[in-house]
Structure 1
Amino acid sequence: MYFLLQQAVAAFTGSGGDWGELITEAEYQGVAPLLAKHLSAIDCRLPRETRRQLQGLCLRSRRANAIRGETTASVLTRCRAAGIEVLAVKGVALSTFAYSEPGLRPMRDVDLLAAEKDLSRLQEILVELGFRLVEEESVPDDFYHLTPLCKEVEGLPVPIEVHRNLLPFHAQYQRWPLERSLAGARSITIGHGEARTLSLEDTLTHCYLHGFQAPLTYEPFRLIHVADLVSLVETYRHEIDWQLLQHHQPRFCNVLSRLHFLTPWQDDVVEELHLVVDDAPHGVGRPYRGWPQRKLTEEPLSQWWKLTRETIWPAQWWLQLYYGHLDGVWYHRMRWFEHPRTVWRWMKTYARAGRKSSKRDTR
């Protein structure tokens, strides 16, 4: 992998690539600390300003995650004292056990999953600890998480989202309340305190659904979602119950095989999981950029044909990643039936929303 990285760096510098733009993109993708770690490992000669920028991002991520970790630990301690079951999920958990150090996995906020009956008491505990509602992010009462609460700790805002359901309430997802994962929860350490999170199998499932099979209106996947899956598989592949995972996600290994063309798996991972990595699909790394993620009204008329084509005929790599079929009859069914049906459902959703809006206006 480091040999490939050296080649990539040589090609980048040889073509006159802009390090500033690269760092900006790495920060957006959530992988700036990983970029710094691996460039350091190959002793890459970076421009002084670039090295300073990367070091600053790494220090900021390390400090921010340490503060968020200790704050989360204090919240979980109070929850245990109150007899409230809580699972720490997403970034705050992944940063502690999927990476060699927590600072390598940036996060935007802290996510906690609790039972419906405990939501009010958990919110009260957060208020008692000094957290306040983020008014500009107010959400409906039946949303899958409560309105975030935030507290400033050592000058850093620490927002916490309390979830009643791990994934958005959407027809594309099954319901995922606390009860679904509580029995198989695993113990981890966050900050200097005990915590519990999803099982490895549930963590992998959530990383895939959240990062790569989100509704078409959501933002495209980011490279940090790729890093999460790669880190989990390569670190814990001998502990993961692959039969159980395949039972719940039959096409999961097909998904892993598509990631190989973005960042190659180790040979033993390919062999053990029987990944299909012979022929590279078209459009590797290109996310979905069609409607309804992009709106016709927001595009110039000259771009409408391109938007229509990207909606109806997205990149092969993304299509395989999103729907999980690689070839044969099922691939063609996915290309000609499943994806058009998904787009058609979104058209009906927007049409219904438009009719309801019209009715309200006439009143």
Structure 2
Amino acid sequence: MPLLPAATVRAALRLTTERFAAELASPTDRAPDWTDRAPDWNDFEWRTAIAVSVMHGISALLADRLRWAGPPHWQAFLEEQAEQGKLRERKVRALLTRLDEASRRANLPLLAMKGSALLALGLYEPGQRPQSDVDLLARPGDFDATHQLVLKAGYAEGVTMWKHRDYLPLDALAVPAFGEHEANPIKIELHTAVHERLPVREVAITAQVFPADAQPGLNAYPSLAALMRHLLLHAAGNLCGCGIRLIQLHDIAALAERLSQADWDEALTTASDGLPAWWAVPPLELAQRLFPSHWPHERLARARAAALAACPARLRRAALHYPLDQVSMSRYSVPMLPGIEWSHGVIEALQCARLRLHPGRKAVAQSRRAAANVHAFASSPWVDQSRWQKALRFLLGAPPRVTTMYSLRRAMAYEPAHANFA
């Protein structure tokens, strides 16, 4: 099925994204009447729905939550994703067990972050939450020893970015299967710090998330507040780059119910830039708007007020009205200066513009190496274009987003593996 004009694609992305967000937000026993009926979508919109569910990591959740049946190819897709999600979760758990045993033997204390921590908490049913990689946080002095540990676990060193170093399994597929699949590689990302650039201001929270009494092996976060703090900072980084995923916002909402007032005070306390967690305001606003029934507003109020006061006024206003499709993986194209509203003042905004236009040779080289390891980018001619060609393309109109177009094209070509599909 060929892709349609940009306006049609944008409309389909918005339509399907908003519907799925609403479906996930409504508990079955309180769902509005329309959730009993399948959407009246055309063939292209149903294919877009497949792409959106994969990009947002919600396919297995939808398989469990939806109260209606769509066309056969949609139902077959959901069934496959639910099955493959369970198979992949078993692989992730097995990998975590191996890493835990190896790090105990090596006397290395490591923190298993984000998805691995959520898996241990049991916030989701088996297979519901996808996990494409395992994030490990090591103390800086333990980096080399942990590097060797990962290599011995059957991994090859990938690209070193400013946030982490990538590792891929030695038997990784050159072309991954679409969506969740048992055969797709589980990456390892090794960190020595937990930080984000928003968009140029670096915010670090490493000291708050790594356990002070960490023992050899894979450790949990020191508290639920520390986990929430990391989820919010990571979500802020993705929002700043217009790349948030629905599953990330769902994680925040699902965990929010478990936090006490003291937990919220800890989660939103001052970070490395000397300010309360101003960066948490946009993901919190969006998560509360999408999943309103999950929020303990009274417990959150005091900590949120301090974070809100530290948040730039322009960002506060924008966060109140963020359309999900425009700040998420559903966005058709990325603006020339993504995240500029996150700047604290004119100087940071100018720095953001300068780095976007002239990121420097080292940053460009790192981006190219990273893109070569991601099939969506490696298969796109956009990556090989020069800076001036890309700038010219933006002047003529923001180009389609590489990852979004990749998911759409794979969804257009998707055929379920089940032989009984008709």
**What's 2:124 paired with?**
100
Deviation at 1:162, TM superposition (A): 1.1
The partner residue of 1:294 within 326, 331, 335 is 335
Alignment correspondent of 1:71:
95
Q: Which amino acid aligns with 2:203?
A: Q
Q: What is the CA-CA distance between 1:172 and the residue it aligns to?
A: 2.3
- Aligned partners of 1:185 and 1:199 also within 8 Å: no
In the alignment, what sits opposite 2:143? 119
44-53 or 67-76: which moved more? 44-53
Per-residue deviation, 1:91? 1.7
Greater mean deviation of Cα atoms: 155-164 or 257-266: 257-266
- Provide the secondary structure at the position in 2 that maps to 1:103: coil
**Are 1:112 and 1:160, in contact at CA under 8 Å, matched by a contact in 2?**
yes
C-alpha RMSD over aligned residues = 3.9
Task: Give 1:36 shift.
Answer: 1.1
Distance 1:254 1:162 in 2: 27
Task: Say yes or no: does 1:83 pair with 2:107.
Answer: yes
Query: Which residue of the partner structure matches residue 413 of structure 2?
Result: none
Partner residue, 2:249? 226
Judging changes above 3 Å, is the alpha-carbon distance between structure 1 residues 173 and 47 closer, same or farther for their aligned structure 2 residues? same
* Residue number in structure 1 paired with 2:263: 241
Aligned counterpart, 2:46? 19
Q: Could you tell me which residue of structure 2 aligns to residue 146 of structure 1?
A: 165
Counterpart CA distance in 2 for 1:169 and 1:284 is 22
Q: Which has the higher contact order (CA 8 A, sep 6+)?
A: 2
Deviation per residue, 1:154-201 (Å, 9 max, x gap): 845232111112235775233344x543336899xxxxx964235321
Instruction: State the distance in 2 between where 1:129 and 1:343 align.
Output: 43
Q: Which moved more, 1:77-86 or 1:157-166?
A: 157-166
Of 204, 225, 229, the residue aligned with 1:205 is 229
- Alpha-carbon distance, 1:222 to partner: 1.1
Does the Cα contact within 8 Å between 1:151 and 1:157 map onto a contact in 2? no
CA displacement, residues 328-363 of structure 1 (integer Å, 9 cap, x when unaligned):
xxxxxxxxx847654322123346646999xxxxxx
Distance change >3 Å, CA 213–CA 124, structure 1 → 2: closer
Deviations 1:220-257 (A, max 9, x none): 211111111011112x1248612222433455577534
Shift of 1:74: 0.7
Could you report, residue by residue, the CA deviation over 1:102-152 in whole angstroms, capped at 9, with x for unpaired residues? 411112211111011111111212222322224xxx226xx3312424244
Of the three residues 30, 35, 42, the one matched with 1:9 is 35
Q: 1:99 to 1:240 in 2, by over 3 A?
A: farther
Task: Work out which of the residue numbers 280, 284, 287 in structure 1 matches 2:323.
Answer: 284
Query: How far did residue 83 of structure 1 move?
Result: 1.0
Greater CA drift, 109-118 or 99-108? 99-108
> Structure 1 stretch 17-26 or stretch 109-118: which is displaced more?
17-26
Identity %: 21
Which residue of the partner structure matches residue 305 of structure 1? none
- The answer to whether the aligner puts 1:259 opposite 2:287 as a matched pair is yes
Which runs of 5 or more structure 1 residues have no equivalent in the other structure? 188-192, 296-307, 313-318, 324-336, 358-363
Moved more, 18-27 or 67-76: 18-27
After superposition, where does 1:266-345 map in structure 2 within 5 Å? 266=294, 269-274=296-301, 281-288=320-327, 293-295=334-336, 338=344, 342-345=348-351
Residue matched to 1:330? none
Deviation at 1:47, TM superposition (A): 3.3
Q: 1:240 to 1:29 in 2, by over 3 A?
A: farther
Aligned partners of 1:63 and 1:103 also within 8 Å: yes
Name 1:174's counterpart in structure 2. Answer: 203
What SS is found at the alignment partner of 1:104? coil
SS in 1 for 2:185: strand
Letter in 2 for 1:23: I
Change (3 A) 1:288 1:32: closer
Q: What residue is the counterpart of 1:132 in the other structure?
A: 156
- What CA distance in whole angstroms lies between the structure 2 residues aligned with 1:35 and 1:356? 41
Q: 1:63-113, CA deviations, whole angstroms, 9 ceiling, x for partnerless residues?
A: 112102211211121111211110001222223325233411112211111
Letter in 1 for 2:204: R
Answer yes or no: is 1:196 the counterpart of 2:220: yes
- Which residue is equivalent to 1:50? 74
| Aligned 8 A contact 2:38 2:69 in 1 | no
**Any conservation in 2 of the 1:61–1:104 contact (CA below 8 Å)?**
yes
Q: Which runs of 5+ in 2 are unaligned?
A: 1-25, 173-181, 271-275, 306-318, 364-422
CA distance in structure 2 between the aligned counterparts of 1:311 and 1:157, rounded to whole angstroms: 31
Is 1:36 equivalent to 2:42 in the alignment? Answer: no
Counterpart CA distance in 2 for 1:199 and 1:181 is: 8
- Rate the CA distance shift 1:70–1:132 in 2: closer, same or farther, 3 A: same
TM-aligned CA distance change 1:242 to 1:271, over 3 Å? closer
Report the equivalent of 1:334.
Answer: none
Cα distance in 2 between the residues matched to 1:108 and 1:59: 16
User: 1:157 is paired with a residue of what secondary structure?
Assistant: coil
Distance 1:345 1:263, change over 3 A: same
Q: Which moved more, 1:162-171 or 1:65-74?
A: 162-171
Aligned length: 302
CA 1:101–1:340 in 2, change beyond 3 Å: closer, same or farther?
farther
